[in-house]
Amino acid sequence: MPSDEKYKIKDLNEWFNDIIFKAELIDVRYNLKGFTVFRPRSVFSISKMFRIYEDKFNETGHQQVMMPALIPEENFLKESDHIEGFTPEVFWVTKHGDEDFEQKYALRPTSETAFYYMFKYWVQSYRDLPLKTYQRANVFRFDSKATKPFIRGREFYWYESHNIFETLQEAVNQVYEDMQITEDMLHEEFGIPFIFFKRPQWDKFPGAVDTFAADTILDNGRILQLPSTHLLGTKFTETFDVKFKDKDDEMKYPFGTCYGPAISRIYGGMICVHGDSLGLRIPFDLAPVQIILVPLYFSDFDNTKLEAFCLDIAQDLDKLGYRVKIDDQTSKTPKERFSEYEMKGIPIRIEIGPKDIFSGTVVIFRRDLNEKKKVDVADIFDEIKLIESEFINNLRSQADEVFEEKIITVNNMDDLKEVIDDNLVARVPFCSIDMDGKNCFEELKAETKGGDIRGVRMDVKEVPEENDVCVVCKKKAQSIVYVGKSY
């Protein structure tokens, strides 16, 4: 967000709930709690995000499939950790018409048990590996917490990638590739800063050996989990009897991974990260309307000339591939019109009045910096190209600055509690993120009234200092962990 204090959001929750309605992104009047209607403006941006992600999956050798939305209960029952983790949230389909099915069918909360059921048919030999697949899908989870459009719903939209490999090292390499994909997409394309963490063993995906997840920090200090990737080892391949014959004619179980970027949640996170007190700020490439031309009408001027002048500019911009609209709201004041388009996050506004026709200039407002500039008509297209090239870089650098300011290093419980009370994220020494550290975590969570250990960083190696001790048990620290409250 712009560093200028006047653009700061005072209450992120209130702002978010207000802006997604006013900007016509969602409608919550559908008569089923937790299920949101996405309106055209948000659907345009989310669809664009899906396409960008899909290009990256294809580039990295993944193949797209489409799996059924219904998963037989017998599939779930095969993996005990998995079903224990997901059963409380599963929607079950039990009837067709008035007749009961012989078994229940889960409305997919995730698709491991569908993919691995099919992998046993698709993989027979080492020549069939690696197998890297993905699908675009909506998933259903009866989340008992308070729902919030985009961020936490009972239906959300994502890509899920399921992959199997001949060796453990190849699977580990895929986890790192997933992290790089996340950097390329979230940070580079969408401007969202994050840290990729290895989650503690008590906080891993049901059925995983290890879980890794990208967390961003919002302006209110709350942590929002974005894509996660999981090293599954041979748990699911053994459960579903997925085997391959290696080069020595020995039958072996391949190693699995899965990766789940929830595009609808990433979109919600992007709104929170880049928004300011004026409203939305959307990356230039994702904006449904990239440029709005606002003619400034005067009663004593032939406004048809003004409209023709705007139309000429709009047509030229359209030919260059920009998504352009001419504002025709004659019943609103210029200030009201400007505020509306700033609130909707349109990246560029071009203001044109009668004097501009004679002077050969226009005023260009750019939403990334919230700045105006007078530009000669002959230079409009060069100026727009410049803004386009700078737009995501500015959003990213502003978000990075806010993100870094939210992380505070401490080494004792009193300071940790103060950091959490101040709605910040603490970087602290801790005994272990293996299961033997769980008791310390539970005490830490109680002391901080809900502080959560997010894990250890994967992007840089952080090692405790020689004299660092766990903030809870005072034993020699084995890890540097990050603690904060979830959004």
- Distance between CA 1 and CA 401 in Å, rounded? 9
pLDDT mean by block of 10 residues, the chain; 487 residues: 71 95 95 93 98 97 97 85 76 94 93 95 97 96 85 94 98 98 98 98 92 96 96 95 96 97 97 96 98 88 85 95 93 92 97 89 96 95 97 98 96 97 97 96 96 96 94 96 95
Is the backbone of residue 455 left (phi > 0), alpha (psi -120 to 50) or beta?
left
Q: Which positions ≥6 away from 28 have C-beta within 8 Å?
A: 21, 36, 37, 149
User: Whole-angstrom Cα distance, residue 416 to residue 426?
Assistant: 6
Of 443, 440, 449, residue with least CA distance to 417 = 449
Q: Which domains does the chain have, with CATH numbers?
A: 5-274 (3.30.930.10), 289-386 (3.40.50.800), 407-484 (3.30.110.30)
Contact 201, 458 (CB under 8 A): no
| C-beta neighbour count of 97 within 10 angstroms | 5
Quick check: bond before 109 cis, omega within 30? no
For residues 282 and 347, the answer to whether their CB atoms sit within 8 Å is yes
The DSSP 8-state label assigned to residue 337 in this structure reads H
Place of tokens 């830490």: 444
Paired tokens of 473: 């048990």
Q: Please say whether the beta carbons of 52 and 46 come within 8 A.
A: no
Is the pTM here over 0.85, yes or no? yes
Question: Where are the extended beta strands (E) located within 296-441?
Answer: 324-326, 348-352, 361-366, 371-376, 407-409, 425-430
- Pair type for strands 131-140 and 99-107: unpaired
Please list, in sequence order, all residues whose beta carbon lies within 8 angstroms of the beta carbon of residue 270, skipping any fewer than 6 positions away.
190, 191, 192, 282, 283
